[in-house]
Amino acid sequence: MKLDFNDDSSLTVALTGMGVIQALKDDELEGSYVYKRDFSKVASPVNEAEFTFESFSKQLAEKKVNIKSMLVGKNALVVGLSNNAFQDIIFRTKIHPKRKASDLSEDERRSLYDMIKLVISERIQLGGKDQFTDIYGRQGQYTPAMGSNMSEKTCLVCGTRIEKLNLGGGQVYLCPKCQK
C-alpha cells in the first residue's frame, strides 16, 4: 500500500504473510479490533512521551514474570516488538531470555530500555530486516544480531555455539555465554 500526503511525503506498507490494512476515521478507531488489541493504552517505543524509562522500569520491577511476556505479545508493556526483536534486544543487552522482569537490576533495566529504542530506530533507518523487501522491491539492510538467522552458527562476540530455547510460545536463540 502507498499513501500519498499533501506535503509530498508518503507512507508505504508491505505485508508479508498474514496482515490487515484498514482505513478508518478517528471516531471509528475504538470499534476496531486490531486497534484496541495493539494500540490503545500501551506505550509505543517510538513515542518519547508515552515510553519513559521511569514507567518502564517501575512496571518491570513489579512483575515476577518472564521478561519475554513483558516485551512481546498481548500483555506486553510496549506495543510492536516481535519475538525476533526481543531476541535481538536481549542478546545485545547480554540478558538471558529466562530472566524474570523483577530480578533485573536498575542498570539492566536501563540498558534494556535504551536497547529497545536503539534497535527500533536502527531497523527503521535501515529499511527493515534484510530478509524482507519494501513495496519498491528494495531489500532491508538490518541484520538481527540474534534470531533464527543465527541458527547452527557461533556467537559473533565470543565464538560459543548458539542455543535454541522454546519460550513463551516461540523459539528463542541465545548465546549461553554472553547472556546471563
Chain residues in the site for Zn ion (CB under 5 A): 155, 157-158, 160, 175, 177-178
Closest separation between CB of residue 163 and Zn ion, Å? 10
Burial of 175 (0-12, 13-18, 19+ CB in 10 A): buried
The residue to which cell 488489541 is assigned: 37
Angle at 147 between CA 146 and CA 149, to 5 degrees: 100
Measured distance CA(105)–CA(110) in Å, rounded: 9
Nearer to Zn ion, 42 or 145 (CB): 145
Give the closest residue to 155 by CA, choosing from 171, 173, 131.
173
* Residue (29 or 145) nearer to Zn ion, CB: 145
CB of 136 to Zn ion, least distance (A): 36
Min separation Cβ 103 and Zn ion, Å: 21
Task: Please report how close the Cβ of residue 146 comes to Zn ion at its closest, in angstroms.
Answer: 10
Q: Report the residue closest to Zn ion, judged by CB.
A: 155
Nearest-angstrom CA–CA distance, 89 and 113: 9
By C-beta, is 155 or 167 nearer to Zn ion? Answer: 155
User: Smaller CB distance to Zn ion: residue 60 or 112?
Assistant: 112
